[in-house]
Structure 1
Amino acid sequence: MTTTKQSLNEIARRMISGVVQIHVEGYLEEDIQSVLNPSIKIPGIWSGSGFFVKHKNLEGYIVTNSHVVRNAVKIEISSMLTSEERFETEVVGMVKQLEPDVALIKLTEEELARFKKMAIQPIEYLTLQKGANPPRGEVIKAIGYPLGMIEPNITGGEITNFISGSEFTTERFVTNAAINPGNSGGPSINKDGEVIGLNTAVIVDAENIGFITPASFIKIIIKNLLLLNEPQFAGLGGKLQKNSENFNPFLKQSRAKGVIVSKVLKKGFLEAAKIQPRDVILSINQVEFDRHGIVIGKEGLYRHKNIFDVMKLVPIGEEVEIGYLRDGKIQHAKAKAMPNPELGIISNPILSERRFLEVFGMVIQPLSFEIIQAIQEVDPYAQIEMLKILDEEKPMLVVTHIHQGTQADKMEWPLGELIIKANEEEVHTLDDLQKILDKNKGKNVLLECMSGLIGYFQVEVNTTKAKDNKD
């Protein structure tokens, strides 16, 4: 009699033909120099894994990790079905912020035809798991091309744990199956021959701890990417805090259940549902939460799935029912799921999308999370100041590089200054600043920073224009 383990091995060997190696040429995004001065581009080559995904009647579509193809200039794949032949692909879209770390690429029509012609058998399209997530202890196989190996690797393990999402992160499965660099983007499969998730990362210096992005997120991302270049997830559009028995008299609750709304953002889901600060959210689509925001119920006994995980998996535009407590009375409201409203300070990890202005001997960019992180490595005190303005509704301009011997250098302007005014006019974008510079060619401009620092600069007649950092 065939054991479950043997059966899973056989399934994994069959599914290898649906897994590909991804070869990338691009720019090393994590280099601090290129973040602070986008005119510096450091080329590199790397590899990862991916798999042909079954979705309706699409052909040639491949799921992988965003970090595998982010900032790529050229992407090719190779497969065991076609020896060591390489095929060009194009990016359909990706989650640029890597939460979750999922991208969708595809073979061009010409390359798909060439692939089919050369393949020793039809492409094996892998099916994403339907229904509930795997339980803790389920045996799985992870498939990929670790460390640049030219043949796919199969490692075995179990689902050992789960990590809940948050306002900024998404849920992940934890596994003891070996996931190494290059293995990222490959599938983790179960005994039913379904993909339970995407091999995503491993903790450095930790033994046998890897992460898997759930198939439920991959499904919603694929649907979204076929409509948009970048997926959007439903958000609450507000800030929450844990409930407590101490609040019982104040909130007129018999016991602490559900989470307290501490802030409602403009143009967000909570505002659309007419939820107010100090309301207590008890449920979303009949899924109830305890005072920590953790799901109550059968799954909640073994999982810490939370309110953010539940909300993110609701398709944008779908009607959501929210149960809440106000003045001691349980009420219900409905509103359509929507992304969180975008604030002024955003993430901008794609090198080619960064805009910057070189003027007065300094590089000025829109402030982003990546810049805050890079400046932290250079000047922790500047980074602390920046964290205070993360909830600003309007963008901010920041000085990210000073060239020696220039006007800014002679005035000893430091890195990380946030420019808020030019000639007493508020500036929030590079275009705002550019207009003032254009009006004052050959004259002087007074710049003022949030810290109170000022600078008086001579504007050259041939004023530099803001640059798009594209090839």
Structure 2
Amino acid sequence: MSETKKNLTDVARQMMSGVVQVHVEGQLEEDIQSVMNPSIKIPGQWSGSGFFVRYLDLEGHIVTNAHVVRNSIKVEISSMLTSEERFEAEVVGLVKNLDPDIALIKLGNTELQRFKKYAIQDIEYLKLREGSSPFRGEEIKAIGYPMGMIEPNVSGGEITNFVSGSEYSTEHFVTNAAINPGNSGGPSISDDGTVIGLNTAVMMNAENIGFITPASFVKIIIENLLQHNESYFAGMGGKLQKNAENFNPLLKQTQARGVIVAQVLAHGFLEAAKIQARDVILAINGIEFDRHGIVIGKQGLYRHQNIYDVIKLVPIGEAVEITYQRAGEVHHTRAVAMRNPEKGIPSIPIISERKYLEVFGMIIQQLSVEIIDGMRDIDANAQIDMIQTIDQEEPVLVVTQIHQGTQADKMEWPPGELIIKANDTSIQTLSEFQNILEQNRGGAVLLECRNGRIGYFQIEADADFRSDV
């Protein structure tokens, strides 16, 4: 045991030189004001960790957490190889909804050459582990720059558990190695000299429980970003449900196995594969599933990887074989892995991507997950109305702020109203609304909301519709 620890310590000491500190200037995204009124920008500074990643013949590419660089305006890195010099980095891409919490940044050629000039040795590019996953009890080291330290910190621990993914989340390793603010984005390494995953988060109010994003997911995100400019995983493109013995007569099965397709989304993966509702998915690329959607096999004794974990590890654009059962007969079909189709109510976590229109004393935006979440602290009843629209395929406009003394305020319009019509014409986007306003300059517009509320607004001939559409 002592020899293993010594070897791992030596490995960590060598790999430590490939870990960098990430310094960020950006906009604070948590503030409710910026959610309800995107014109409000609240600046901030913070830091995290990252590491130079070995991928094909690329140079200067660094993996970090998406939350470290999301809503950044300026990103710099520093390294123990270059004293206290800082180098400006570009964001290649990131997973905007932070699941998984992965981003890829890089040093442009000029900054990369400057880095090499100052570096006391060659850049240590870290290799992502491929194939086998760590096992419970495997010893690891987590490397990073916690709490803004200017030198990298190495904390020891082991893999203690695994958390399966779902339709909305990805698999994580659980560790008792210390992962603190600022440490996230660095690598967790094993004594084979590879990165087993990306330090991601610590569970608050729990002792010695941290989470690591598996290297396999990091690799897929890198490939999707660099090859397809897609910061997404492949998705099922539908809803699944667990199977049960009760369904055997209906599905013409002798034993409940595989998962039932409950819904097929338009323009998604299952539709492309010509899968129908009530088909039973038995396997993907030869990997079989039990009635719970858990992978069948030896690994299932120790891990609960499921059907969502399997599909997410297929690169976007790669052909996938599906084995399914319909009316008791087994069939095989193929389709290309693709991201899930976008819904009308998206997540818009990037502040610069939040478009709005300021008119009649109102801030009007496209309804998003962030707005729904923020409405909880403003009007819980309005939030309930919004939640009912969450699965619709078309966008919807929402009033997020009312200014005092304006037309909207005098008609006592509250924040949270969902606008569906303007002058009896259905509208779903800001550009559609703005076109109607332009066409009726010097006149009026009748707005109608989802709950029946109406508003009659006068449009001045020289009105300046403040917007970021």
Considering the TM-score relative to the shorter chain, is it more than 0.5?
yes
Report the 3-state secondary structure (helix = DSSP H, G, I; strand = E; otherwise coil) of the residue aligned with 2:461.
coil
Inter-partner Cα distance in structure 1 for 2:379 and 2:128? 45
Residue pairs, 1:1-80, within 5 angstroms: 3-80=3-80
Corresponding residue number in structure 2 for 1:289: 289
The one-letter code sitting in structure 2 at the alignment partner of 1:459 is I
Q: Which runs of 4+ in 1 moved over 6 A?
A: none
Residue pairs, 1:129-278, within 5 angstroms: 129-278=129-278
The one-letter code sitting in structure 2 at the alignment partner of 1:390 is I
Offset from partner CA, 1:380-435 (integer Å, 9 cap, x none): 22222211111211111111111111111111111111111101111010001001
The one-letter code sitting in structure 2 at the alignment partner of 1:68 is V
Corresponding residue number in structure 2 for 1:97: 97
1:393 equivalent to 2:396? Answer no
Q: CA deviation at 1:465?
A: 3.9
Q: CA deviation at 1:229?
A: 4.3
Inter-partner Cα distance in structure 1 for 2:352 and 2:360? 23
Offset from partner CA, 1:97-132 (integer Å, 9 cap, x none): 111111111112111111111111111110000112
Q: CA deviation at 1:228?
A: 4.5
The one-letter code sitting in structure 2 at the alignment partner of 1:201 is A
Corresponding residue number in structure 2 for 1:341: 341
- For the 8 Å contact 2:234–2:312, the answer to whether it is kept is yes
Report the 3-state secondary structure (helix = DSSP H, G, I; strand = E; otherwise coil) of the residue aligned with 1:445.
strand
Pair 2,347 (structure 1): closer, same or farther in 2 beyond 3 Å: same
Count of matched residue pairs: 469
Q: CA deviation at 1:366?
A: 0.6
Inter-partner Cα distance in structure 1 for 2:462 and 2:161? 60
Q: TM-score, normalised by structure 2?
A: 0.98
Inter-partner Cα distance in structure 2 for 1:466 and 1:223? 40
Report the 3-state secondary structure (helix = DSSP H, G, I; strand = E; otherwise coil) of the residue aligned with 1:3.
helix
1:298 equivalent to 2:291? Answer no
The one-letter code sitting in structure 1 at the alignment partner of 2:178 is A
Inter-partner Cα distance in structure 2 for 1:170 and 1:2? 34
Corresponding residue number in structure 2 for 1:373: 373
Pair 466,328 (structure 1): closer, same or farther in 2 beyond 3 Å: farther
Pair 182,37 (structure 1): closer, same or farther in 2 beyond 3 Å: same
Q: CA deviation at 1:209?
A: 0.7
The one-letter code sitting in structure 1 at the alignment partner of 2:16 is I
Inter-partner Cα distance in structure 2 for 1:380 and 1:9? 52
Inter-partner Cα distance in structure 2 for 1:385 and 1:303? 40
Inter-partner Cα distance in structure 1 for 2:244 and 2:61? 48
Gap runs ≥5 in structure 2? none
- For the 8 Å contact 1:420–1:427, the answer to whether it is kept is yes
Residue pairs, 1:327-366, within 5 angstroms: 327-366=327-366
- For the 8 Å contact 2:357–2:468, the answer to whether it is kept is no
Q: CA deviation at 1:252?
A: 1.4
Report the 3-state secondary structure (helix = DSSP H, G, I; strand = E; otherwise coil) of the residue aligned with 1:226.
helix
Q: CA deviation at 1:460?
A: 2.3
Corresponding residue number in structure 1 for 2:414: 414
Corresponding residue number in structure 1 for 2:434: 434
Pair 388,158 (structure 1): closer, same or farther in 2 beyond 3 Å: same
Inter-partner Cα distance in structure 2 for 1:395 and 1:372? 13
Provide the aligned C-alpha RMSD in A.
Answer: 1.3
- For the 8 Å contact 2:359–2:466, the answer to whether it is kept is no
Report the 3-state secondary structure (helix = DSSP H, G, I; strand = E; otherwise coil) of the residue aligned with 2:364.
strand
- For the 8 Å contact 2:49–2:184, the answer to whether it is kept is yes
Gap runs ≥5 in structure 1? none
- For the 8 Å contact 1:26–1:74, the answer to whether it is kept is yes
